[in-house]
Chains A and B, each alone.
Chain A
Amino acid sequence: MISGRLTLVTDSRKTIVVTGVGVVSPYGLGVDCLQAGMFSGKCCLAPTNDFYPGFVGSTAQVSGLPPLQNEFGFRYSRSDRLAMVAARDAVGNLDYESNALRGSGVFMASTVAGLSEIDPEIAENPSAWYQRGGLARAASYPPARVADAVGEYLGVRGPRCAISAACASSAMAIALAANMLLDGAAPMMLAGGSDALCPFTLSGFNSLQALDPDPCRPFDRNRKGLNLGEGAAVFVLETLERAEARNANVLAVLRGWAMTNDAFHSTAPQTEGNGLADCMRLAMEMAEVSGDNIGYVNAHGTGTPLNDVAETSAYETAFRERKRPIPVSSTKSYFGHCLGAAGALEAVIAIIAVRCGALLPTLRLADPIESPSVDWLRGKVLRQEVPLAMSVSAGFGGSNAALIFGNGQFGSGRG
């Protein structure tokens, strides 16, 4: 299964590894389901008109969300539920009552959180809406509620926190969780993101004229915008030292991470993609690798006119020294943009690339943006060794994040 050969010589106390991954996606529950669906080339984007009168577009929805076990009496939003199911999937057969899980932390990203529970009537007379049953629904509004829901559900009682950086949120949640582990603030961290489809975000992106009514075409010259999807992905992160001590199965190594901001515009990316390029460079510096070592980039690739041009420029800058064009694809072409969950879901796909040596193409990429530095993956799944894969995220407010994953091959010299 693991095929890469970039040996990692490292200090196990300072090496962050992934020992669990949980996913709820439009393909269903679990990584295997996601992997099988994507490898088959199935696109989950479908015409939708049931979110509010007048909305016509393509979305990717999660159907058949499994019921929660041992549910508490709280009212959970759909984002909470997606997160809880993904987190349960991530921890697998970890002992719920073990000290490790109890003292661990939860960093969860969400842009929607409980907004899906709130009706527009709240704006006219909040008090009346609360008295009609909205009080409990509004309690799920704070962004931190998703992390709390996961923590309460699994009995995880360490630091809990929401990470908000728009569409880069869950990639940042993973990066910040890694920092917390290095600080010794928790033995393990659950980190990821969750977002549900709801009228608030569909209407918001529609009002910005950012939606493509048809399935999106990231990096295509005829792209017209993005589609929204929903889902959740949660990682179990810990130090290699700790994972080895409990004989945990190491799924991947988080080799590098970085976060930057464009400081350019509140919604538009910096035209030349400099902030994003810096972010990728910094992540490679942390991983102590060059662009030649990166075998695949899972792009942010929303399909909006501005993002995809800036992002392409960023690859040209970040991988300028690379000998061959960098293989890049946007998997938002399969299940849309899952907002706060996007970074974590796409990080899962980067790990799949490393573990399976399989590069997923961008769907519907007929006429790609010209770039001498980028090898746009399209057509069939490409099979080749991927020692390291990078997942790139960006978001409103100029947020950028990059994560680099490697396989679990360790050199004999590790500490």
Chain B
Amino acid sequence: MTPTLAAITGIGSVSPYGPLAGLIPPCALEPEAITAWPTSGLRRAFLVKPFRPASVVPGLKTRRLDRLSAWAMVASSLAIQDAGIDLSQEDRSRVAVVFGTGLGCAELTEAFFHSAAAHGWSATDPSPFPEGLANAPASHVALWHEARGPNVTVGCKGFAGESALIQAASLLRHGLADLAIVLAGDTLTRAVYDWYEVAGLLSPSCFNSEPLADGSGFVPSEGVAALVLEPTGRREVRAYAHFSSGRWSADGEAVETIRQMLGGSVPSITICASNGAPCATSSTSALAGEISGTSSGIVPAQAAAAGLTDTSALLHLILALSGQPPSGQALLLGTSGENGFAALLLELP
């Protein structure tokens, strides 16, 4: 049995379900029509409905920030509230922030390009530049919570959430922090959506009002999930799950690596956390079956996500925990649809 490392004691999210502290009530979603930018015909995605961050977290100032930064601040506040932590009682120099993202602050990066297109590179608007850097969300989370510990942003193709959780647990394990706010997420912008569309990656469900159908392509989503991670036993509180260990690889020998991590045990439940692209979904299911040796106890990605087919692994985890899975060892598994994989080993109370 791999030793337990860290407890997930708080959950917060800003997702198409809205801003929420704690678990997410079961509720199937349908994609919504995109109206934030001009489209040639119906285009759909799972979108975060606009909301005023200060109405969720009083006092929060998010003007001129990328939505990713604003959501990260909201989600982290909700997670800390859910964990019952009074940060004023914590040593803030021992509070780490680890943020995982695939694309970073795409919205303000596009705004900076817009400024260059409109005025030329020699007369760009200065405000989107620093706020468009990939680490801006993590630094705003640190600023808002006065978290002066390690502040890390990781970018990882398909596994940003998993790698953020693994890095955060590593910081705790090596005594570099007492508490970690772990986040992962992305925003959907016109340039991102159009890239998926021109690349031919989108599901037919993006272009019509029909219910979600399995088939080719995926439906993009957006949002930020946040977890509070602390050494198990640091406080006498309930934990949603305990993180034991994790591995990810760009192109590795998945079965061998994961079995090595499991140390001979077979998890009672395997949660598939890949995005909704059929190749990733099927390869994750196949890998889950190979690891567990059975098809029972496998929570498929789309069912776990109740309709959200492209979202961070942390949100998949929150949704899976919201389904009140049985206690025992759980494996959160993702594949990239190529040869990449990520696996997180958790103990569910």
Contacts and interface: CB of A to CB of B under 8 A. Distances in A.
Interface string A203-224: 1111111000000000000000
Interface residues of A, number: 75
A111 B134 CA distance: 8
Interface string B139-151: 1101101111111
A328 B264 CA distance: 52
A277 to B, nearest CB: 11
A182 to B, nearest CB: 7
B348 interface: no
Interface stretch (A36-44, A65-73, A154-162, A374-382): A154-162
Nearest to B169: A183
B207 interface: no
A180 B167 CA distance: 8
Interface stretch (B13-21, B115-123, B217-225): B115-123
B157 interface: yes
B155 A143 contact: yes
B170 A263 contact: no
B238 to A, nearest CB: 27
B93 interface: yes
A266 interface: yes
B231 interface: no
Given A166-B133, A208-B130, A261-B149, A115 B154 contact: no
A262 interface: yes
A260 B133 contact: no
Contacts of A111: 133-134
Contacts of A369: none
B198 A261 contact: no
B251 interface: yes
B103 interface: yes
A142 B153 contact: no
Interface string A93-113: 000000000010010000100
Nearest to B163: A161
A74 to B, nearest CB: 13
A185 B247 contact: yes
A148 B113 contact: no
B156 A263 contact: no
B173 interface: yes
Contacts of B149: 259-261
Contact of B121 (A141, A203, A278): A203
Contact of A259 (B114, B125, B151, B197): B151
A160 B148 contact: no
A159 B136 CA distance: 24
A395 B139 CA distance: 10
A264 interface: yes
B143 A398 contact: yes
B88 to A, nearest CB: 14
A263 B148 contact: yes
A179 B174 contact: yes
A204 B129 CA distance: 6
Contacts of A54: 120-123
A280 interface: no
Interface stretch (B104-112, B270-278, B291-299, B309-317): B104-112
Interface string B207-251: 000000000000000000000000000000000000000011111
B148 A199 contact: no
A372 interface: no
Contacts of A260: 93, 148-151
A157 B252 contact: yes
Given A118-B113, A165-B151, A261 B139 contact: yes
Given A396-B135, A398-B151, A130 B171 contact: no
A267 B110 CA distance: 20
Interface stretch (B49-57, B187-195, B327-335): B187-195
Q: Categorize the interface residue count of chain B.
A: 35 or more
B247 to A, nearest CB: 7
A397 B135 contact: yes
Given A143-B134, A182-B174, A206 B251 contact: no
Contacts of A22: none
A275 B147 CA distance: 11
A326 interface: no
Interface stretch (A121-129, A241-249, A296-304): A121-129
B156 A176 contact: no
B315 to A, nearest CB: 19
Contacts of B199: 130, 135
Contact of B126 (A127, A157, A208, A264): A208
A103 B253 CA distance: 9
A392 interface: no
B152 A144 contact: no
A399 B151 contact: yes
Contacts of A259: 149-152, 176
A373 interface: no
A22 to B, nearest CB: 20
Interface string A146-174: 00100100001111111111100100100
B93 to A, nearest CB: 6
A404 to B, nearest CB: 15
A259 B103 CA distance: 23
Interface string B263-288: 00000000000000000000000000
B347 interface: no
A208 B126 CA distance: 6
Interface of A: 51-55, 103, 106, 111, 115, 118-124, 126-127, 130-131, 135, 138, 141-145, 148, 151, 156-166, 169, 172, 176, 179-180, 182-183, 185, 199-200, 202-209, 258-267, 275, 278, 395-399
25 contacts: A111-B133, A120-B113, A123-B116, A135-B199, A144-B155, A151-B251, A159-B248, A159-B250, A162-B154, A163-B154, A164-B135, A179-B170, A203-B116, A204-B126, A208-B126, A208-B129, A208-B130, A260-B148, A261-B148, A261-B149, A266-B130, A396-B133, A396-B139, A397-B151, A399-B139
Interface of B: 92-93, 97, 102-104, 109-114, 116-117, 120-126, 129-131, 133-136, 138-140, 142-143, 145-157, 160, 163, 166-167, 170-171, 173-174, 176, 190-191, 194-195, 197-199, 247-252, 339
Given A157-B252, A200-B112, A266-B143, 19 more contacts: A53-B122, A54-B123, A111-B133, A131-B198, A144-B160, A161-B155, A162-B155, A162-B156, A164-B154, A165-B135, A165-B151, A203-B129, A207-B126, A259-B149, A260-B150, A263-B146, A266-B131, A396-B130, A396-B139
4 closest A-B pairs by CB: A397-B139, A54-B122, A162-B155, A204-B129
